[in-house]
Amino acid sequence: MLGAMALNNMIAEEKSSAIPRYPATAKKVIFLHMAGAPSQLELLDYKPLLKEMDGKPCPQSYLEGKKLAFAKGTPDMLGPQHTFINYGESGTIVSDRLPYFQSLIDEVTLIKSMHTDQFNHAPAQLMMHIGFARLGRPSIGYWMTYGFADKCRDVDKPMTALLKDLKTRGMLDDTLVVWGGEFGRTPLRENRGGKYGKWVGRDHSLGAFIMWMAGGGAQKGFSYGETDEVGYNVAENPVSIHDLQATMQHMMGFNHEKLTYYFQGRDYRLADVGGHVKKDLLLLS
């Protein structure tokens, strides 16, 4: 048993030292994970049609084939709960819930077409960070550390303040900042058990959510992908969790298909058999 473990570690170390690398645009990553899944429809994905449909019964076409965590029967549509205004030279529409972030909208790439296949918080968070919905795999941070193993041996308001501080110090160019939750929120009002509660809220949504990245070689003032007319599903340029992970690894200088770890008889990688680098998100694509 101990001999097998030692052999496994030796194979892994040998492979780590031989991992091919690209010129990295990012040397550091700060991942701001918004546990609990913030609503994209109240922050960065404004839908005029959804505003018009507020309070009306949800069309059955939106419910067919959908998995919902709590909503039952035919819930009402829920329009945007806050005001949206165009900001920056890019003219990006931003909610008044992000009054400080608005000033830096031209520094970020919005990924408006994220999607996942997990709609419960814990497995969806695992998918985001380890590329798999169950425990037992290394996190994305570990993959980066493993990839840099040889170098290692040689040695809110807050989110806006972070970006401003990094930019002021000249550190944003090679520091990748990533922001987002584990899934999105539906355009439907949540009715647990078929009844509306005291609070107005949205159900879990696999079909579409927003993340953003800034610095580290990401495009500036750029939006990628779109959702449908009510923000329920991705309409163009879908980005999966594994695509995001592969793109982050690429920005750190790694070929995500070659950054592998030998375990239980085969090579594993963060995105395992999935994931594509989304080069349109990069300054040097």
Interacting residues of 60 by C-beta distance below 8 A, sequence separation 6+:
74
DSSP, collapsed to helix, strand or coil, labels residue 236 as strand
Mean pLDDT across 231-258: 96
Q: What was the pLDDT predicted at 158?
A: 86
Strand 92-95 versus strand 266-268 pairing type: unpaired
Domain limits of the chain?
2-19+26-281
Q: What was the pLDDT predicted at 155?
A: 33
The letter for the amino acid at 266 is R
Query: Which residue intervals of the chain are DSSP H helices?
Result: 2-17, 48-52, 60-63, 121-130, 140-147, 149-154, 158-168, 241-251
Tokens of 167: 């930019």
Residue 95 has pLDDT above 60, yes or no: yes
Q: What percent of the chain has pLDDT over 90?
A: 69
In whole angstroms, give the CA distance from residue 228 to residue 232.
6
Tens of pLDDT, residue by residue over 103-162, are 999 999 999 999 999 989 999 999 999 999 998 888 999 888 888 765 544 437 788 999
Tens of pLDDT, residue by residue over 50-67, are 999 999 999 999 998 888
| pTM for the structure as a whole | 0.88
Mean pLDDT across 240-253: 96
